[in-house]
A and B are shown apart, each in its own frame.
Chain A
Amino acid sequence: MAAVTWKGWKVLKYVLVIVLAVISLFPIYIMITASLKTRAQVFTIPPIWFFNPRIENYLAVLSTLNFFRFFMNSVIIGLSSTILSIGFGAMAAYALARFRFMGHRVVLTSTLFLRMIAPVVLVIPTFILWTKLGIMNTRYSVILSYIALNLPFCIWVLRTFIVDIPISIEESALIDGCGEFTIFSRIIIPLIMPGLSVAAIFTFRIAWNEFPLALVLTNRYTRTLPVAVSLFMSTTGIDWSKITAIATIIAIPAFIFTFVAAKNVIMGLTAGAVKG
Chain B
Amino acid sequence: MTSKQLLQRTTPYMFLFPALAVILVAMLFPVVYGLGLSFFDWALRDIRVAPVFRGLGNYVELFKSEYFYTNIRVTLIFTLTVTVSEIVVGLILALLLEQKMAGLRIFRTIFVLPIMVAPVVVGVVWRYLYDPSFGMINYFLSVLGIEARMWLSEPQLALPSIIVADIWQWTPFVFLLLLAALQGVPKDLMEAGMIDGTNYLQNLRHIKLPVIQPIIIVTAALRLIDAFRSLVVVYIMTFGGPGKSTELLSMAVYKTAFISQRLGLASAIAVILLLIIFLITMFVFFTSRGESRR
Contacts and interface: CB of A to CB of B under 8 A. Distances in A.
Q: Answer yes or no: do A and B interact.
A: yes
B136 interface: yes
B34 A258 contact: no
Interface in A38-57: 42-43, 45-47
A209 B120 contact: yes
B128 A30 contact: yes
Interface in A223-271: 226, 229-230, 233, 238, 240, 243-244, 247, 250-251, 253-255, 257-259, 262, 265-266, 269-270
A28 interface: yes
B176 A270 contact: yes
Contacts of B129: 27, 30
Given A27-B168, A45-B133, A269-B173, A244 B124 contact: yes
A211 B180 contact: no
B109 A259 contact: yes
Contact of B120 (A95, A117, A123, A211): A211
Interface string B229-264: 101100110000000000000100110011000010
B128 A244 contact: yes
B254 A31 contact: no
Nearest to A240: B128
B33 interface: yes
B19 A151 contact: yes
A122 B27 contact: yes
Contacts of A147: 22, 26
A117 B270 CA distance: 11
A243 B120 CA distance: 11
A144 B22 contact: yes
Contact of B235 (A23, A152, A211): A211
B23 A262 contact: no
A30 B125 contact: yes
Interface stretch (A61-69, A126-134, A189-197): A126-134
Nearest to A9: B96
Determine which residue in A112, A116, A180, A226 has the highest number of CB atoms from chain B within 10 A of its CB, and name it: A116
A80 B83 CA distance: 34
B163 to A, nearest CB: 15
Interface string A101-139: 100000100001110111111111111110100000000
B267 interface: yes
Contacts of A205: 116
A128 B37 contact: yes
Interface range on chain A (Cβ under 8 Å from partner):
35 or more
Contacts of A148: 22-23, 25-27
Interface residues of B, number: 84
Prevailing SS type, chain B contact patch: helix
B273 interface: yes
Interface stretch (B53-61, B73-81, B187-195, B215-223): B215-223
Given A45-B139, A151-B22, A255 B37 contact: no
Contact of B229 (A46, A95, A120, A240): A120
Interface in A177-234: 180, 184, 205, 208-209, 211-212, 216, 226, 229-230, 233
B278 A21 contact: no
A131 B225 CA distance: 29
A166 interface: no
Given A20-B107, A262-B108, A270-B177, A91 B16 contact: yes
Given A30-B125, A247-B124, A254-B118, A262 B109 contact: yes
B157 interface: no
B85 to A, nearest CB: 14
A28 B128 CA distance: 11
B84 interface: no
A229 B120 contact: yes
B120 A250 contact: yes
A70 B47 CA distance: 27
B19 A155 contact: yes
B134 to A, nearest CB: 6
Contact of B119 (A28, A209, A270): A209
29 contacts: A13-B101, A17-B97, A24-B113, A25-B110, A27-B125, A34-B128, A113-B285, A118-B229, A118-B273, A120-B254, A122-B26, A122-B27, A122-B34, A124-B270, A129-B30, A144-B26, A148-B25, A149-B27, A212-B231, A212-B254, A226-B118, A230-B236, A240-B131, A243-B128, A251-B117, A254-B121, A262-B112, A270-B180, A274-B177
Interface of B: 9, 11-13, 15-16, 18-20, 22-23, 25-27, 29-31, 33-34, 37, 47, 93, 96-97, 101, 103-104, 107-121, 124-126, 128-129, 131, 133-134, 136, 139, 168, 172-173, 176-177, 180-181, 215, 218-219, 222, 225, 229, 231-232, 235-236, 250, 253-254, 257-258, 263, 266-267, 270, 273-274, 277-278, 281, 285
Closest 7 CB pairs of A and B: A148-B26, A209-B118, A118-B229, A99-B12, A95-B15, A92-B19, A125-B30
Given A43-B133, A208-B118, 10 more contacts: A31-B128, A45-B133, A47-B136, A101-B9, A123-B257, A151-B19, A151-B22, A212-B254, A233-B236, A276-B222
